[in-house]
Structure 1
Amino acid sequence: MTELAGVSSRLPRGRHGLPREQVIASQRERILRAMADAMAERGYVNTPIAVVLKRAGVSRETFYEQFRSKEHCFEAAFERAVHGVMGRIAAASDETTPAPGTPENTDRLDRLLGAYLEALAAEPAYARLFLVEVYAAGAKAVAKRAVLQESFVAVIADVLGATTESQRFACQTLAAGVSAMVTAKIAAADPDGLRALRGPLLELVLRSGDLYGDAVRAN
C-alpha cells in the first residue's frame, strides 16, 4: 500500500547532497515502518526501542530527534496506518460510476468494503499495529482507536442512509462486528480470509432491508 510505504528506502551511503528535509522524512518513514514490522513479530510490549533502531538503520540520537518515546513513535505509526486506510476509503468513495446493473448505493458499499479490506490485507504489519497492538499501548492509544471506529460508523451510516437513532445504532453494531472479524483475521495472519469477508458482509447488509438505513431499502 503506497500510502503507508512513504519514503522508506535507505539513503545513499556517504555524501549524498540530499536536502535535510528529505533526509529527515526518510529517517522518519524508516522508523515508523520498523516500529510496525517489529511489533508485528514481537508485540508492542516486547519491542524495545533498540530493536526499532536496528531495523530502521538509525541511531538513538536520530530517533529521539523525532520522537519523545516509544509511545510517541507508536502514536505516529498509528496515524500513518490510519492515513493509509482512510486514503483508500476516500478514493473508493470518490468513484461515482457504479458497475453496470448495480444500484449506486450497493456499488458504493461494495467498493468501500473492498478498499478497507484490501488496505488491511496489503499492509498486515500496520493493520496489526492499529487493530491488535493498540490495546497494549495504553489508554491514549485505545481512545484514538475508538475515534477511528466512530469515523467508520459515520461512513457506513452515510452510505446506507441511516437517518434514525435505531439505524445509526445498527451501523455501530455492524462496524463493531466488522472490526472484530478483521482483527481476528489479522491476528491469524490470514489475508485471503480477510479479503473473503467482502462478499458475505455485502450480502448481509443487502438482506437487512432498512435495518441499517433507508438507502438499502431503496435498492
Structure 2
Amino acid sequence: MNGNPERLPRGRHRLSREQVVASQRARILTGFIETVAAQGYVHTSVADVLRVAGVSRETFYQQFTSKDDCFMAAYDAAVGVVLGGIGDSLGGDGAALGTLERLDGALGAYLETLAAEPAYARVFLIEVYAAGPEALARRAESQQRFVTLVAALLGAETDQERFVAEALVAATSALVTARIVASDWEGLAALRGPLVALTGQLIAGQR
C-alpha cells in the first residue's frame, strides 16, 4: 500500500496482459482509497476515482462492477495488510515470549500499520460504515478474525476467555477509530501501553 503504483508506459511495451491488469487494478484501488479518505465514501464518484487513477471508465468496469465492489476490494486489501503486519510481529522469537509480550507486539504492529497508512485506516475503520450493509457484514467478519487472533494470543480456551478477547478487540476498535477521526496519530500510538495493561487486568480477573 505504500506509494503510488506507476502508470503504464505509453506506446508499445513488453508487459503481459496479467501485468497490465494488475497495474490498472492497483492504480484504481490506490486512487479509490485516496479519494474516499479525502472526500468520504458518499461524496466519491467513479469519475473522481478515474481522474486520480488515470484510467478510463471502461477499464474501471473491466475490474469492478460498481463503486461498492471497488470498496469491498479495497477493504479486503486493507484487512490483509493489517493482519500481515501483525503476523510479521509474531514471527522469529515470538513463540518464546509471554502472553502480554506477544499481545504488545501484535498491538504495536496494528497501531503502526494504521499510522503508516492513514488513508487506508480511514476507509478500514470509518468509511466502511457509509458503504452499506454488505460492507458492514464484511467488517463484522473481519472483526471476528481479529477476535480469533487475540484469543489465540491469550490462550483462550473457554467461552468466557474468548469474551475477554472480544471485549478487547471492541474496545481497541472504538478507541482507535476515535483517534483516527481526529487525525490524532500521537494519541493512536499512546493507546498501546494502556490497552496492554487493561488486558493484564482482564486476564488476572479470570484467574
The answer to whether TM tops 0.5 is: yes
Number of residue pairs matched by the alignment = 207
Q: TM-score, normalised by structure 2?
A: 0.93
Q: For the Cα contact (< 8 Å) 2:4–2:30, is it kept in 1?
A: no
Distance 2:202 2:58 in 1: 55
Q: Indicate the residue corresponding to 1:35 in structure 2.
A: 32
CA distance in 1 between partners of 2:141 and 2:131 (Å): 16
Contact 1:7–1:25 (8 Å) recurs in 2: no
Runs of 4+ in 1 over 6 A off after TM superposition: none
The partner residue of 2:197 within 185, 203, 206 is 203
More divergent stretch after superposition (64-73 vs 14-23): 14-23
1:136 aligns with 2:130: yes
SS in 2 for 1:17: coil
Give the Å deviation of 1:49: 0.3
SS of match in other structure, 2:202: coil
Give aligned-pair identity as a percent: 54
Compute the displacement of 1:184 (Å).
1.1
Q: Corresponding residue for 1:155?
A: 149
The CA distance in 1 between the partners of 2:108 and 2:60, in whole Å, is 36
Moved more, 153-162 or 134-143: 153-162
Structure 1, residues 71-122: CA drift from partner, whole Å, max 9, x if none? 11111111111111111111112232579xxx52222111100111111111
Per the normalisation by structure 1, the TM-score is 0.88
Matched with 2:19 is 22
Q: Does 1:71 align with 2:65?
A: no
Q: Does the Cα contact within 8 Å between 2:143 and 2:169 map onto a contact in 1?
A: yes
* CA–CA separation in structure 2 for the residues paired with 1:49 and 1:32: 11
2:167: which partner in 1?
A: 173
Provide the C-alpha distance between the structure 2 equivalents of 1:35 and 1:146, rounded to a whole number of angstroms: 22
Q: Which runs of 5+ in 2 are unaligned?
A: none
Partner of 1:113: 107
Paired residues of 1:78 and 1:130 also in contact (CA < 8 A): yes
Letter in 1 for 2:36: M
RMSD: 1.8
The answer to whether the 8 A contact 2:78-2:124 is kept is yes
Question: Any gaps of 5 or more consecutive residues in structure 1?
Answer: none
Give 1:150 deviation, angstroms. Answer: 0.7
> 1:104/1:34 Cα in 2 relative to 1: closer, same or farther (>3 Å)?
same
* 8 Å contact from structure 1 (residues 7, 26) kept in 2: no
